[in-house]
Amino acid sequence: MEIKRQERKHVIENTDGEMLAEITFVPSGSSMVIIDHTYVSDEMRGKGTASKLVASVVDEMRQQGKKIMPLCPFAKAEFERHAEYEDVLHKKD
């Protein structure tokens, strides 16, 4: 399963280029992004696909030195389950 990093989203496609899963995020200022949507097709469900997409965004934002505000319910739950994401979590003042 290859995750392709694109501008403001990470996607997984089948061999025909059809999107099977995606996570989208939008910049908020210069130091933060907001994860606003996660989608996984029926055929990809139950394989940890959405978790891998969240991890992919976490890795990219760590590399860029940015924080993440997970507004998407799934992403928010992932941040609650994974203490190791604490370093990139945007904390409200």
Which residue ranges form the domains of the chain, and what is each CATH number? 4-88 (3.40.630.30)
Q: What are phi and psi of 60, to 5 degrees?
A: -65, -45
Q: Residue 24 forms beta bridges with which residues?
A: 9, 37
Whether this model's pTM surpasses 0.75: yes
Q: How confident is the model at residue 92 (pLDDT cuts 50, 70, 90)?
A: confident
**Alpha-carbon distance values, 8 to 26, 36, 83 (Å):** 6, 10, 24
Listed in sequence order, the residues at least 6 apart from 54 whose beta carbon sits closer than 8 Å to its beta carbon are 23, 35, 38, 70, 74, 75, 78, 79
Encode pLDDT of 24-81 as tens digits.
Answer: 999 999 999 999 999 999 999 999 999 999 999 999 999 999 999 999 999 999 999 9
